[in-house]
């Protein structure tokens, strides 16, 4: 592992500040630089100690497609499939089904394109891309619908009435004349909105981000696809910035400008430069770790240890990244102090195992013991990877 490097505050202003209003919110921001040219990929056993799993029991004739987001709240497991079933499923800690929310539709109290959700002590809130939040109680019963004055793609709740929202919307008069805002502070009661982070002048193609806005305790983290900067926001101020230095392996950012190149040409370049690196935000934080994703011949994750200021990287579905139980390293859906969690279809696990090269007799035996509990027809599996 490698030591991180603290760099002066003035570097951020020189390289990353795109406008004065956003810059005014940056006061004594702590910067941490991750130099990927000094790092080497880690293997499974250098990051994780062991793996455990729980089969999630669905009602009959119920199907979950790809799980987009997972929240574990008071030991209950919340798994949302935004696209296929457009449903939120809730299980207890043993994997037994509790309830689901499936209110897809165009009418009042329904969502057409769910893009995010959160869980509080009062229940569940679902963000719909048609400019509204739907609120449910702790049993999944609909309570109310709240309209928003702008379109947003991700949200976190930082107080009873205040949210930080990723807007992707340009030129909205709500934020000021000709202001394009990425991150907005919005008060549901007063309807006040404040642009926390304005958008840079370079326009890049929109690619759906999975987890580019997250909060932990009093701090919120935000970034965008292809950006090498991750911003930490505390009390309306950008208090922390993590900078990803990809060096000579970085994907050329000038090739992403949609004002210069056609979208199909940009996508072709992305799909043919597998050896180039770029940020694919997948933000998680705990007391010990900060995690995000990046691309290098597929999905990879950065594990930054906040305590000793060191980091490791790990590739997803690498043909040698497999636990002694025979379970491959897959996606990250949730982070707590001791482990990461993913919820995935049984067939994906079986397919990933078949691609593995490091299959000792012990690993094969352990995986057969794991696989006998899998329902390849429908049941998803919650897998926890325990840190060393």
CATH number of the domain enclosing 22: 2.120.10.30
pLDDT for residue 370: 79
Question: How many domains does the structure of the chain reveal?
Answer: 1
Query: Quick one: pLDDT at residue 146?
Result: 95
The answer to whether the CB of 221 falls within 8 A of the CB of 237 is no
For every residue of 152-169, DSSP letters joined together read: -SEEEE-SSSEEEEEEEE
Q: Which pLDDT belongs to residue 260?
A: 83
Q: Which residue(s) pair with 341 in the sheet?
A: 334, 384
Measured CA to CA, the distance from residue 52 to residue 278 in angstroms comes to 31
What is the dihedral sign for C-alpha 76, 327, 296, 306? positive
> What pLDDT is attached to residue 178?
57
Both tokens of residue 373?
């509990």
Phi-psi region of 267 (alpha: psi -120 to 50; beta: other; left: phi over 0): alpha
Report the alpha-carbon distance of residue 385 to residue 184 in Å, rounded.
34
CB 292 within 8 A of CB 329: no
In the block, tokens 């012990």 appear at 362
**Who's near 141: CB < 8 A, 6+ residues apart?**
none
Q: Determine how many CB atoms are found less than 10 A away from the CB of residue 310.
A: 14
pLDDT at 12: 30
Report CA-CA distances (Å) from 14 to 17, 18, 22, 31, 179. Answer: 7, 9, 13, 13, 21
The continuous run of DSSP H or E covering 127 comes out as strand 123-128
Return the pLDDT at 79: 97
Per-residue pLDDT at 80: 96
Specify the long-range contacts of residues 265-273, CB closer than 8 Å, at least 24 apart: 266/205, 267/205
pLDDT reported for residue 368: 83
CB 313 within 8 A of CB 358: no
Position 30 scores a pLDDT of 79
CB 77 within 8 A of CB 91: yes
pLDDT in tens, the chain (388 residues): 333 333 222 223 223 333 444 444 554 567 889 998 777 788 888 999 999 999 899 888 888 888 999 999 999 999 999 999 999 999 999 999 999 999 999 999 999 999 999 999 999 999 999 999 999 999 999 999 999 998 899 999 999 999 999 986 554 445 555 567 889 999 999 999 998 988 766 566 556 678 999 999 999 999 998 899 999 999 888 999 999 999 999 998 888 877 788 888 888 888 888 889 999 999 999 999 999 999 998 899 999 999 999 999 999 866 667 788 888 888 899 999 999 999 998 888 888 888 777 778 888 888 888 777 676 665 799 999 999 9
Q: 0.85 cut: is pTM over it?
A: yes
d(CA 159, CA 170): 26
Tell me the residue range of the domain where 272 lies: 2-387
């Amino acid at each position: 592992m490698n030591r991180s490097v603290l760099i002066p505050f003035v570097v951020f202003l020189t390289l990353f500040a795109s406008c004065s209003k956003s810059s005014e919110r940056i006061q004594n921001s702590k910067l941490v630089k991750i130099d990927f040219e000094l790092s080497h990929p880690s293997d499974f056993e250098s990051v994780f100690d062991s793996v455990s799993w729980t089969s999630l029991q669905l009602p009959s004739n119920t199907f979950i497609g790809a799980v987009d987001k997972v929240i574990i709240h008071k030991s209950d497991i919340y798994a949302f499939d935004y696209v296929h079933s457009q449903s939120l499923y809730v299980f207890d800690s043993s994997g037994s089904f509790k309830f689901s929310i499936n209110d897809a539709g165009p009418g009042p109290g329904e969502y057409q394109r769910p893009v995010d959700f959160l869980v509080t002590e009062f229940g569940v809130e679902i963000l719909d891309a048609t400019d509204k939040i739907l609120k449910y109680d702790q049993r999944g019963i609909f309570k109310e619908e709240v309209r928003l004055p702008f379109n947003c793609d991700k949200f976190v709740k930082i107080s009873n009435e205040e949210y930080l929202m990723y807007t992707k919307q340009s030129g909205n008069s709500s934020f000021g004349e000709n202001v394009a805002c990425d991150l907005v502070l919005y008060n549901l009661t007063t309807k006040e909105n404040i642009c926390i982070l304005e958008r840079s002048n370079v326009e890049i193609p929109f690619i759906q981000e999975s987890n580019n806005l997250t909060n932990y305790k009093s701090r919120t983290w935000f970034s965008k696809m292809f950006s090498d900067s991750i911003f930490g926001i505390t009390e309306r101020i950008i208090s922390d910035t993590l900078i990803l230095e990809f060096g000579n392996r970085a994907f050329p950012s000038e090739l992403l400008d949609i004002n210069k190149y056609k979208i199909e040409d940009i996508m072709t370049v992305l799909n043919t430069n597998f050896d180039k690196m770029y940020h694919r935000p997948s933000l998680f934080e705990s007391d010990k770790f900060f995690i995000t994703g990046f691309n290098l011949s597929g999905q990879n994750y950065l594990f930054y240890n906040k305590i000793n200021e060191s980091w490791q990287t790990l590739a997803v579905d690498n043909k040698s990244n497999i636990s002694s139980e025979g379970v491959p390293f897959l996606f990250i859906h949730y982070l707590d102090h001791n482990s990461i969690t993913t919820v995935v279809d049984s067939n994906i696990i079986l397919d990933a195992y078949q691609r593995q090269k490091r299959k000792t007799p012990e690993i094969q035996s352990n995986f057969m013991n794991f696989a006998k509990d899998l329902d390849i027809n429908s049941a998803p599996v919650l897998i926890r990877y325990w840190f060393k």
